[in-house]
Amino acid sequence: EYYHGTVVAGINASYYNMTSGKPSGVFVMNGNDVTGGEKSAYFAILQDGTAKIGKADEYEADKDNIQEAIGIYKMLVYKDSIALSEEDQKSTQKYPRQTIGITADGKVILLSADGNQEPESIGLTLMEQAQVMLDLGCVYAGHLDGGGSMTYGSKPEGEDAFKIVNKPSDGSERSISNGLLVVSTAAASKTFDHVTLGVETE
């Protein structure tokens, strides 16, 4: 069963083998485990529609209850605390970062931070990445594929077309192995809801 609706946002997801194209870690599509035996931390949508971020050792217990899942490269926040190693907490490398998190009330938060484009954008350290997610109210958060793969697309309010809205650090979109889409299945009510005003300058 595939979902039908309007794609309103999308990001790249897991790290992957750039030769074979195989995504790293856990990967579940439409309830089918295509992981190939790899284990990793993961972001999952469970069969009941709730979201979960789990550690690698939780996957076996969860796998029969997962509808969709992608592999997480590094756990940033776990049970409302920084989950990075001491070495990662001290790292000063700023980098384009792709992040996913879950708040205490079950909301999913996507954070896409451009980088490698000084002075316009320099990116985040791993610790900054984790701290931002904590500040946004996430009790769980994970680091996805960053760098040149880091891409965020959306259908901006009031526009008809889906487009890339960040500035990929390689200068253009790059091939990826898997991604995560936010799809709206809401039916149009034909009732006026709100309006957004903007000013265009030439």
Gap between the Cα atoms of 122 and 100, Å rounded:
20
Single pTM value for the model: 0.89
Query: Under a CB-based contact definition with an 8 Å cutoff, are residues 168 and 150 in contact?
Result: yes
Res 54: pLDDT: 97
Helix (H) or strand (E) holding 61: helix 59-62
Predicted confidence (pLDDT) per residue in 158-178, tens digit: 788 899 999 999 888 888 889
Nearest to 61 by CA among 79, 42, 76: 42
At 3 the pLDDT is 59
Percentage above 90 pLDDT, the chain: 73
Lookup: tokens for 144: 């996805």
